[in-house]
Chain A
Amino acid sequence: MEHIYLDHAATTPMHKKVVEAMVPIYEDVFGNPSSVHSFGRKARQLLDESRSVLAHSIQANEKDIIFTSGGTEADNLALIGIARANKHKGNHIITTTIEHHATLHTAEYLEKEGFEVTYLPVYKDGRVSIEDLESALTDRTILVSVMYVNNETGIIQPIKEIGDVLKSHQAYFHTDAVQAYGTLRLDVKELGVDLLSTSAHKINGPKGIGFLYAKEGIKLNALQFGGEQERKRRPGTENVVGVFGFKTAVELMLEEREKRNTNYEHFKQQFLQVLDEEGIEFNVNGDLSNTIPSIVNISFPGTNVEKLLANFDLSGVAASSGSACTAGSVEPSHVLSAIYGENNPCTTNSIRFSFGSANTNENVVDAAHRITKIIKRLVK
C-alpha cells in the first residue's frame, strides 16, 4: 500500500536540492559565526548570504531579519517583544479568533501579564472585517496581529487593507505568514506590515528554523538573554546549516512558486472532482476563490474527525484536522467554531487536506478514492 501525504500544511518533505545544499555545510562549515577567526568567518559568510536572500524574498532589509527556531518562536517574539517594549504607549492588542495557537496562546498569556486583547471575529467567509478592526482600535492599541493565511482552512486575510488602515495609527502590524510564504508573493512595504513570521519546514526546508521580520526602528524586547547574535534580539549561536537550508528552499520556492501553485490548484480540483463524482456528501469550508491553492478544508456530514483520520491513516492517507489536543484526542476546531459557531457539526467533522511536493496527479486521485470508500462505509 502506497502511503499518500496530504498534510503539507503540517510540514513538508525537504526538497532534494535543499538536502544536497546542506550536507556539505554540515561536513565543512562548523565554525561559530561570532568567532574572530577563519572558521567563524566562513560560517558568517553563509549566514549573511542567506539573510540577504531571505530579506529580498519579502522585499525587506537584511538587518530586519531575526532568525528564530521557527514560526512559533517568531510569533512569540513578535507579540511578547512588542507588547513589553511598548507598554508606555498603551496596553491594548488586537488579534483574531482564528490565529494559530502560537499567536492565540501568546495573546492569552499577555492578558495574564495585564494586557487587554481584542479578538476580532470572522464572518461566514472566514475573514475579519476592516470595520471591526477600525472600531476596535483605540489610542491605547500598540499591536495588531492577523495571520495572512489560515493554516486550517487556507483562507486569505485582507492584510494589505489592514496595513492601509494602520498606516495612520501607532499600532504595529504583525502577520503570521507561515502558510502564506510558499504560495503568495510577499512585499512587506506594499502590505504595510511591521512584523512578519515565517518557517522553513512549511516550504520544503529544514525544521527548526524560521525568521521574524521586524522593520528597522521597531521597539522589540528580546525574550532570551545571552550573546549579541541577531542584534541581541535573539541571542544564541546561529543555526547556520538550518539557515542555509532555509535560504535554498526559499530560492527554489521563488523560482517555482507559480508552477507549484498551478499544480496544487490542479490537485485540489481533481481531488474535489473525485469526491463529487463518487456522490458522497461533503462541503468545502471557506470560499475556494479566496483560499490558497494548497489547502482545502472539507466537512463530511455524519462523521467525526477522530474516526475519519484514523480510518484515513489505516488506509494510507495522511491528513489532519484542527489542532491535536489533550491526550491525542481532537478538540473541535477553534477556527471552524469561529466561522460557523461553536456547536456547528462542521467543527468536529472537517478534515484539512493540503497538497504539495509529495503529490502527483495519480496519488491525489488514488487518495480521493480511498477517502470516498471510507466515507461511504461510515455514513450509512
Chain B
Amino acid sequence: MKDNKDIRVVVGMSGGVDSSVAALLLKEQGYDVVGIFMKNWDDTDEFGVCTATEDFEDVVRVCNQLDIPYYSVNFEKQYWDKVFTYFLDEYKAGRTPNPDVMCNKEIKFKAFLDYAVDLGADYLATGHYAQVRENNGKYEMLRGIDSNKDQTYFLNQLTSDILEKVMFPLGHLPKSKVREIAMEHGLATATKKDSTGICFIGERNFKEFLSEYLPAQPGQMQTLDGEVKGKHDGLMYYTIGQRQGLGIGGSGDPWFVVGKNLKDNILYVEQGFSNDYLFSDELVATDMNWINPEDIKDTFTCTAKFRYRQDDSGVTVNVLEDGTVRVVFDESQRAITPGQAVVFYDGEVCLGGGTIDKIIKQNHVLDYVG
C-alpha cells in the first residue's frame, strides 16, 4: 500500500466552501494535495471585474492557509464548445437543458481529469456531495449522506472507470458539518455564500442573459384548444410547469405552461396546478449512461428523479435496442420536462441516467410538450 503522502490528489477548487473543505480534509488525511481552479467562463465587465478573478483569489487564500500548491487552468474553449453550445442548442430546440450535467461529463470529469492525470495525479477530488464505493473491482456512485445536498443527479454521466480515479471527500458529511469544519479552521471561504443557479449566469437575470445569445421571438400564448390567452416573450424563456411570468390575469385557478409548439411559435398554457395536461405516465430518455452497464438488465424496477432535489419515484425501466430507455412511472408524474435529466437509483446507488426526450401518456407521445 502506498503511503498517503505519495498519493497525489488534484482537487478541483471553485473558491466555494465545499471544495475548500474537500481540500482541507484530504490534506488532513496526509495526501499530496494540489488545488486547481478551472476558469470556464469569462464574464469580465467594463471595469475589468470578473467573478472568476474573485473566486480564484479565494482559492489562493484557502490554499495558502492549507499550505498546498495551487494553479489555474483555462477551459473556456472546451466549455464553450461542449457545454455552452449544447445549452444554446437545447434552448433553440425548445427544451430545458441541464448544463451542470454536461459540464461534469465533458469538463470536470473529462478534460479536467485528463489534466489532473498529466499533473501526475492518482485521484481527482471535488466538493460534490456524492460517494464512491468499490464493489468487487467495480466502482459505484452512492448518494451523498445529506439528502438535501445530494448531487448524484448532476453526476449521472460518470462511469465506473472514471469513479475509480475520483474522490468525493464530502459525500459522508452533512452540509452543516462542512460549514462547521470551515469555521473551525478559519477558512477564508467559511462564510461565503453558496453559488446559486447556472455557473456562467450567476446572479444575473436569466432572461437578459439568454437574450444576448439567442434572438427572442415573441409569439402567442394559447390553450391547447386554441384560445389565445396573451403573448409570450420567446419560447426559450419558459419551462414546463412554470407559473411565474405568464401575466394572465382573471379569475379562477392560476395558469401554467404545459407545452410549446416550436413550429408555430406558440406557448401552450392551461389552468390549475393539477391540470391533466401536465401529467404523464411514461418517458423516453436518450444519451443514456450506465455507471456499471453490465449490471443493467433489459427490464427492471428502480426509483428515478426527473429533477434535482425531487423525491424519488418508483419506475420500471425498459432498455430498448438502440440504447434509449422507456421509463414507466408507478404513478403519473407532473411537469416532466424534455431536456432535463432522468436519473435512476437502486436504493442509495446511482445507476446512471439520460436526457428526457419524449413524454408519453396512455401510450401516446405528447407532442404538445415540445
Contact = CB atoms under 8 A, between A and B. Distances in A.
Interface in B41-58: 42, 44, 50, 52-53, 55-56
Given A313-B69, A314-B69, A330 B119 contact: no
Nearest to B10: A310
Nearest to A313: B69
Interface string B15-44: 000000000000000000010110100101
A310 B42 CA distance: 22
B71 A306 contact: yes
Given A314-B34, A327-B53, A378 B72 contact: no
B118 A328 contact: no
* Most central of B59, B69, B115, B118 by chain A CB within 10 Å: B118
A306 B73 contact: yes
A314 B119 contact: yes
A327 B72 contact: yes
B235 interface: no
A309 B42 contact: no
A289 interface: no
* Most central of A309, A311, A314 by chain B CB within 10 Å: A314
Contacts of B52: 326-327
Given A306-B71, A306-B73, A327 B119 contact: no
Nearest to B51: A327
A307 interface: yes
Given A310-B119, A311-B118, A314-B119, A327 B69 contact: no
B119 A328 contact: no
A3 B4 CA distance: 22
Given A326-B39, A326-B52, A327-B37, A307 B72 contact: no
A329 interface: yes
A132 B119 CA distance: 44
A328 B120 contact: no
Given A306-B74, A314-B34, A326 B50 contact: yes
Contacts of B74: 306, 329-330
Contact of A326 (B53, B59, B73): B53
Interface string A304-329: 00110111011000000000001111
A306 B55 CA distance: 18
By secondary structure, the B interface counts as mixed
B60 interface: yes
Interface in A269-326: 306-307, 309-311, 313-314, 326
B69 to A, nearest CB: 6
B72 A311 contact: no
A310 B37 contact: no
A354 B71 CA distance: 21
Contacts of A311: 118-120
Contacts of A309: 71
A277 to B, nearest CB: 24
A326 B71 contact: no
Contacts of A306: 71-74
B71 to A, nearest CB: 4
Contacts of A310: 34, 36, 69, 71, 73, 119
A326 B44 contact: yes
A309 B74 CA distance: 13
Contacts of A314: 34, 69, 119-120
Contacts of A377: 118
Interface string B52-88: 1101100110000000011111100000000000000
A104 to B, nearest CB: 15
13 contacts: A307-B118, A310-B36, A310-B119, A311-B120, A313-B69, A326-B44, A327-B50, A327-B72, A328-B70, A328-B72, A329-B37, A330-B74, A378-B118
| 5 closest A-B pairs by CB | A328-B72, A329-B74, A327-B56, A327-B52, A329-B72
Interface of B: 34, 36-37, 39, 42, 44, 50, 52-53, 55-56, 59-60, 69-74, 115, 118-120
Interface of A: 306-307, 309-311, 313-314, 326-330, 377-378
Given A327-B55, A327-B56, 19 more contacts: A306-B72, A306-B73, A307-B73, A307-B119, A310-B73, A310-B119, A311-B118, A311-B119, A314-B34, A326-B42, A326-B44, A326-B53, A327-B37, A327-B50, A328-B59, A328-B60, A328-B71, A329-B39, A330-B74
